[in-house]
Amino acid sequence: MNTVQLKSKKLVAALIAAGVMGGAGVAAVQHLPSAAHAQAVVAQAAPAGMGATAGLPNFSAITNQYGPAVVNITVSGTRKAARAGAEDADDEDASPQAGVPPEMQDFLRRFGFPPGAFGGAPGQGGHGGGALVRGAGSGFIVSADGLILTNAHVVRGADEVTVKLTDRREFKAKVLGQDDKTDVAVIQIDAKGLPTVPLGQSKALNVGEWVLAIGSPFGFENSVTAGVVSAKGRSLPDESMVPFIQTDVAVNPGNSGGPLFNTRGEVVGINSQIYSRTGGYQGVSFAIPIELALHVKDQIVAHGKVEHARLGVVVQEVNQSFADSFKLPRPEGALVSQVEQGGPADKAGLKPGDVITQLNGQPIVASGDLPALIGMARPGERVRLDLWRQGKSEQLSAELGGASGKAVKVADAGDAGKGKLGLALRPLQPQEKGQAKLDGGLVVEQAAGAAARAGVQPGDVIVSVNGQPVKDVEQVRGIVAKADKSVALLIQRQGAQIFVPVRVG
């Protein structure tokens, strides 16, 4: 129910796949600069508004003016025992004081916090085989009549939600709606004349800019932490459609759902997730952009639910090997590896091997940019897709579908090896074509050399090479002979398709 803790291997894989950071960089602990150093850095460019002291942003002014609009949220409910197993291993409400190191649990107990104050307690109490769930998080008031934004995982499964204001008043809250795909929830309390926060724009943030978080880490209400924007548009391996803001602001269990402020005192994000090996802050935290949160909030308030648009493709990252294979000028875009039959992308004419470079004129640099943009659209909306196909640029128009299925799924791409292709291939037999639902393709009998190092296995079906559908071995030899550095093999394995780059020179 608090900040979601990501497994290190999942986050490392996602960031490496995104081509923006290596594993060692993710695991490194980042520290806020010393006050003296920070003052020297920002003294020449102190942001306007809210005032500044000795060149630093005036965090005390932001806190005094807008801190009263930040609330503490506590929840209680029950959860079926089956959900307290492995599938919730990463969810902080899946175990007593989940995500909190043992030494911190002892510290909290000494200060009177009960077991499970920052997560459920599977196996303890409950009714009808359920487990008692207690949790805490944060939120912020966006309208004076008691409308509050928080994280969906803070209120998920809650039977009772209590909101506590900074003036110590408490209210029972109603959950108006929640959206698991974006991790945004809207709750309402019965009150008038409440303090609110001003809302800004995350797209105006610059990497390196100071930001401020207010929340209730470990139940310590209205705690203030500050740091800088580390990156924008981060895609995480949770099948969400959120282009996260990455910061080095200290965020811990209990900060979930709290606001991320810029130096003008405007909320630019909702603190949502952390990367941690200990359950506590390690210098990598993630916030949901406020524009996306408001898009979800407006739908919940108007309709009580959220509808997400759907394109109906599986895409993967374009690395240098793929760029070489498809003759792309730069390793950018979203490589289409699979198209849902009869879906919006299929009807628009998208094919495996296409590289989507823009959507409605907005560049697609990393593959995660595409689901983020689709997530901001509405079902039935028509979008323009700029793509790279067979060495040249093309444009298509697609009408986005409704919520069934996933708007865009991002596939994981394996690393390429070096050396010759190293494959023994044979054509698909007629019965195999029917089973695989393919018109053509070549079965991998043996895999060695560069192909094996890239992850190709016997039994895989090669559907295309460099975007060209293949039906015989000679065709593959001809394509590989013309390749300069690498080839992109579209592999079908157990009904799923993914491009694999293989170095050939």
Single out the catalytic residue among 88, 91, 93, 153: 153
Q: How far apart are CA 490 and CA 205, in angstroms?
A: 38
Q: How far apart are CA 465 and CA 322, in angstroms?
A: 11
The tokens for 332 are 């950018």
Q: Is 183 a catalytic residue?
A: yes
Q: How far apart are CA 244 and CA 150, in angstroms?
A: 15
Single out the catalytic residue among 256, 325, 337, 464: 256
The tokens for 34 are 């010393």
The closest alpha carbon to 246, from 237, 238, 236, 254, belongs to 236
The tokens for 478 are 């001809």
Tell me if 18 sits within 8 A of 366, measured CB to CB: yes
Single out the catalytic residue among 91, 179, 183, 324: 183
Tell me if 368 sits within 8 A of 277, measured CB to CB: no
Q: Which amino acid is at 373?
A: L
Q: Which amino acid is at 317?
A: E
Q: Is 153 a catalytic residue?
A: yes
The closest alpha carbon to 179, from 144, 196, 154, 203, belongs to 154
Collapsed DSSP state (helix, strand, coil) of residue 335: strand
CB proximity list for 265: less than 8 A, separation 6 or greater: 49, 50, 61, 62, 65, 66, 197, 198
Task: DSSP for 180-245, please give it.
Answer: TTTTEEEEEES-SS-----B--GGG--TT-EEEEEE-GGG-TTEEEEEEEEEEEE--SSS----EE
Q: Which amino acid is at 418?
A: K
How is the chain split among helix, strand and coil, in percent rounded to 5?
Answer: 25, 35, 45
Taking residue 450's Cβ as centre, other Cβ atoms within 10 Å add up to: 23
List the catalytic residues.
153, 183, 256
